[in-house]
Amino acid sequence: MEVVVAAAERRVTGFMDTFGDEFNKYRSPLVSRYASKEMAYNFSDKKKFTTWRKLWIYLAKAEKALGLPVTEAQVAEMESHAEDIDFAMAAEEESKLRHDVMAHVHTFAHCCPTAAPIIHLGATSCYVGDNTDLIMLRDGFDILLPKLARVIDRLSKFAEKYAGLPTLGFTHYQPAQLTTVGKRACLWLQDLAMDMRNLQRAREDLRFRGVKGTTGTQASFLQLFQGDHDKVEDLDRMVTEMAGFKKAYMVTGQTYSRKVDIDSLSPLASMGATIHKICTDIRLLANLKEIEEPFEKEQIGSSAMPYKRNPMRCERCCSLARHLIALLADPLQTASVQWLERTLDDSANRRISLPESFLTADIILSTLQNITEGLVVYPKVIERHIHHELPFMATENIIMAMVKAGGNRQDCHEKIRVLSQQAATVVKQEGGDNDLLARVQADPYFAPILGHLDNILDPKTFIGRAPQQVARFLSEEVRPLLEPYKAEIDVKIELEL
C-alpha cells in the first residue's frame, strides 16, 4: 500500500513540476472556460487595484485644486505609478496588516515616496472599495448592453425573415392555433427589449459614492478644509466628475446603500429568466426537428449515439441562466442584514455575487448571439406538422363555410364531431395519419364546399395578423431601441465552445 501511495505522490509531483500551479487550484469556469476577455478583465485584480490608484490620484488632484497642501510633484509621481502594481508586495503587506486597502496604500507609497504623506488623505477604505465597485458595475453594464443589442438585432432579422412562415402554436405544449415562426421570435424579442430597458435604467441610475468619510458625514474632510462646507461639496463633485459620473449619492453610511446592488443584479437575473425561456423553446423545437441551433460539421452530439444533434449551446445558456437567477438572492439578503452605518458581512459575499452575476450574464449573451446568428429552420418539417394537426383546427372554418352554403350549424357540428372522433381514434390508437379531411371529402353532406377545401385549409388563413404584428413591432419598438448601438451592432461573436 505504501508503495502505491508513494508512486501516486511521485505522479502528482511530476504533474506539478510539468504544469506548475495552474491545475492545482480550483479555477472558476466562469473565467477559465467561458467569459469574454473584456468582462474577465473588468473584475480582475489589475482593474480593481489600478482603479484604487486612480481614485487616490483623483482625490489628490481635487484636494490640491481646493487648497490643501498637495504638490504638483506628488500628483505627477502618483500618476507615473498608476499601473505598475507590485502584487507580491501588496500580498505580503496584507498578510501582515490583515487589511487590503492599507496594504495597497503602503505598496503605492513605496513607489511614490514623495506622495506617500498625502495618499488616501481624509479617506476611508470604502472611498476606494465602494467607488471602484460602482465603476466596475457601470463598466460591466457598458460591456453587456452592446452584446444584448447584437442579440436583439440578430433575432429581429430572423423574425423579419420568417414573419409569414406559418407554424403550429403550442399552449400547454399541446398543438394550438397557428402562429408564424417570426411572430414567435417576436415574443422572445419583446422580453429581451424589456431587459434592454431594465439594464439601461439600472446603468443610468448608478451614482458615485463619492467622498463621504467613515460614516458618510464627511467629517474628516470638513476638518481638512477647516469648516468650509462649500469646499467639501466641491471636493465630492470634482472627484465624482473625474470618475465619469454625473452624480454622487447625497447620503451614505460608510458604504453606499446595498440596495444599489439589488437594483444592478435584478435586471441581470430577469434577463437570465428571458434567456432560459428562449433557449428552452429552441430545445423543444429542436426535439420536433423544426428549428435547430448551429451545429458544426465535425461536432459530436454523443459519444455513444453518433446520430445525435444535441442543443448544447442552449443547454449551456439554461444551465448558466439558473445560476444567474439564483445569484439575486445574495444582494437581497445582504441589503437586509446591514446594521446601521454598515457591517462587514457584506464584503465576502459581494466579492462573489457581483462579479459572477456580470460574468454569467456576459457568457449567456455571447452564447445566445452565437445561437441567433446561426439558427436553422426546417420549413418542410413545420409544414408536415401543420398538415398533421390542421384538419382538427379547421373544423370551425368548415362549419362556417357550410353555414354560408346554406347548411344548418348544429347538424354540421354533429357531423364534424363524429368524423373528428373517428380520425382521432386512427391517430391515437392505430398510429395512423390524421384522415379527417379524407372523411369530410367522402361524406356527401359536405359536397357544397368540396371545391373550397383547399382555400379553407390554407395555413396562411389561420395566422391572423401575425406578419403585420411582426412588421410593426420591429419598426416601432425594436429598431429604435438599437439605434444607440449602431456602431457596435455588426461585431461577430468569437466563441470557444
Decide the pairing of beta strands 174-180 and 166-171: antiparallel
Count of CB atoms within 10 A of residue 379's CB?
13
CA 212 to each of CA 127, 128, 338: distance values in angstroms, whole numbers, following the listed order: 7, 11, 18
Lookup: cell for 426: 386512427
Q: Report the b/e string of 424-459 with b at 16+ CB within 10 A.
A: eeebeeeeeebbbbebbeeeeebeebeeebeebbeb
Whether residue 401 contacts residue 449, with contact meaning beta carbons closer than 8 Å, is answered with yes
Query: Active site includes 303?
Result: no
How many CA atoms are closer than 13 Å to the CA of 454, on its beta-carbon side?
1
* Cα angle 248-41-349, degrees, rounded to a multiple of 5: 65
Q: Helix axis angle, 466-473 relative to 125-161, nearest 10°?
A: 140
Paired with 178 in beta bridges are: 168
The strand pair at 376-377 and 291-292 is best described as: antiparallel
| Contact (Cβ atoms closer than 8 angstroms) between residue 63 and residue 123 | no
CA-to-CA distance for 408 and 447, rounded, in angstroms?
14
Q: Would you state the cell numbers that stand for residue 79, as one nine-digit string? A: 500618476
Q: Which residue pairs from 303-311 have beta carbons closer than 8 angstroms and sit at least 24 positions apart in sequence?
A: 311/279, 311/282, 311/283, 311/286
Check 302, 319, 336, 347 and give the catalytic one. 302
Give one word for 213, left, alpha or beta, with left for phi > 0 and alpha for psi -120 to 50. Answer: left
Quote the cell numbers at residue 195: 431587459
Burial class (CB in 10 A: 0-12, 13-18, 19+), 289: middle
Angstrom distance (rounded) from CA 266 to CA 155: 23
Please say if 104 is a catalytic residue: no
The residues annotated as belonging to the active site are: 172, 302
